[in-house]
């Protein structure tokens, strides 16, 4: 995707980070991490990116973080702790990070209440669903009998499959089409749908929920696939566009 050069202030997209043990140089420590593909996709869409690591002091009032941004992206990563949706962990649900879950749930609820544009990618879509009382399928092969949603661990090579998006939905508008080729890398998925959310996309392979959104809001979209890994995708750009529009409207409303 070609980089968009802006001659006006860029909209600010906050992207939530993972907490992982990582090695760089001579160091091996806990780190806040974010794949560069998320950052690059947002920047190519015309955004300025800030990283939002888990912060326990913001759980009660995430407003200080939300004041800094025009849109929120929930990135992929570790499985969500099943305690967040009232279930016991499946043997395949491992390496959960509850402090990240709690922070992102508080953040996304507050962002949606403000009507800030929100995009959840993979785990991020699942997080939106859980934040509104939904639940997850903890191991898809157990339900569907195949591993096609996670073919090779650690790569999107050969991970393409098609999804069908609801005509006229936000998902279809963001993707630019109703029959959409995607890249996936996940072993969990949406089960019970959260309150106020609407399913707007399914996998053509097996009917798994692939897109959810919240009608009545400016832009609340969750996609189970990884648009940041696809240079041809317009989904992240749609988030940036919605954030820019919202920022412009807020700026105009403050002009005396």
Active site residues: 122, 226, 228
Q: Give the up-direction half-sphere exposure of residue 171: CA atoms within 13 A in the CB hemisphere.
A: 30
Reported in sequence order, the residue ranges of 59-133 that DSSP labels E, i.e. its strands, are 71-74, 118-121
What are the Cα distances from residue 102, in Å, to 107, 153, 176, 241? Answer: 9, 26, 33, 28
What are the Cα distances from residue 94, in Å, to 40, 81, 122, 191, 226? Answer: 29, 9, 16, 19, 21
Integer Cα distance of 102 and 92 in angstroms: 21
Closest by CA to 116, choosing from 69, 75, 76, is 69
Integer Cα distance of 248 and 237 in angstroms: 16
234, 166 contact by CB (below 8 A): no
38, 73 contact by CB (below 8 A): yes
Residue corresponding to tokens 């969750």 = 222
């Amino acid at each position: 995707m070609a980089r968009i050069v802006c001659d006006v202030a860029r909209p600010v997209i906050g992207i939530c980070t993972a907490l992982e043990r990582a090695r760089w140089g001579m160091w091996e420590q806990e780190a806040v991490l974010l794949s560069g593909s998320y950052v690059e996709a947002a920047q190519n869409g015309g955004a300025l990116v800030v990283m939002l690591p888990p912060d326990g002091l913001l759980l009660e009032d995430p407003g200080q973080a939300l004041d800094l941004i025009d849109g929120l992206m929930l990135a992929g990563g570790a499985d969500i702790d099943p305690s967040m949706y009232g279930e016991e962990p499946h043997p395949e649900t491992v390496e959960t990070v509850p402090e990240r879950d709690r922070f992102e749930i508080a953040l996304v609820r507050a962002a949606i209440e403000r009507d800030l544009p929100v995009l959840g990618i993979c785990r991020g879509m699942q997080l939106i669903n859980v934040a509104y009382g939904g639940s997850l399928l903890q191991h898809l092969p157990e339900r569907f009998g195949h591993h096609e949603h996670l073919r090779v661990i650690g790569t999107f090579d050969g991970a393409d499959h098609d999804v069908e998006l609801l005509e006229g939905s936000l998902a279809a508008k963001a993707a630019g089409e109703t029959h959409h080729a995607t890249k996936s890398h996940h072993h969990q998925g949406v089960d019970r749908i959260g309150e106020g959310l609407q399913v707007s996309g399914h996998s053509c392979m097996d009917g798994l929920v692939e897109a959810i959104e919240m009608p009545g809001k400016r832009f609340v979209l969750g996609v189970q696939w990884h648009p940041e890994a696809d240079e041809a995708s317009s989904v992240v750009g749609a988030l940036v566009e919605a954030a820019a529009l919202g920022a412009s409207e807020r700026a105009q409303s403050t002009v005396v």
